[in-house]
Amino acid sequence: MTKTATKALLGAIALAATAGYATVAAAQNQQTPRGWSYEIKDGKRVPKGNRITNPDGSWREEVRQGNCVTIKERSAAGEYKETRQCNPTGKPG
């Protein structure tokens, strides 16, 4: 190959790589709607909970879905507890 052909080939490869990186960057910049996150649930969107984290590493999170409230808690020792309560009247608490 000549030097010109080699430079042209390297330029084409660099252009293709740049286009690939731009596509990945654009996909990463998509924003999830407010109040939603991608967690378990087979890749489906689930509501984002209100999480309170304590200095000792423990946390408590409440997730509301319709008339139901799911409470997830983790102690500083690593013990996990999840409870779910549904109110058929639609009134909280």
| Number of neighbours of residue 35 by Cβ within 10 angstroms | 9
Residues 49, 9 share a domain: no
pLDDT tens track for 48-86: 788 999 999 999 999 988 889 999 999 999 999 999 999
Domain count, the chain: 2
State the residue range of the domain holding 79. 34-93
Residues 39, 16 share a domain: no
Residues 88, 55 share a domain: yes
pTM for the model: 0.46
pLDDT tens track for 2-24: 777 777 777 778 766 666 655 56
pLDDT tens track for 47-56: 678 899 999 9
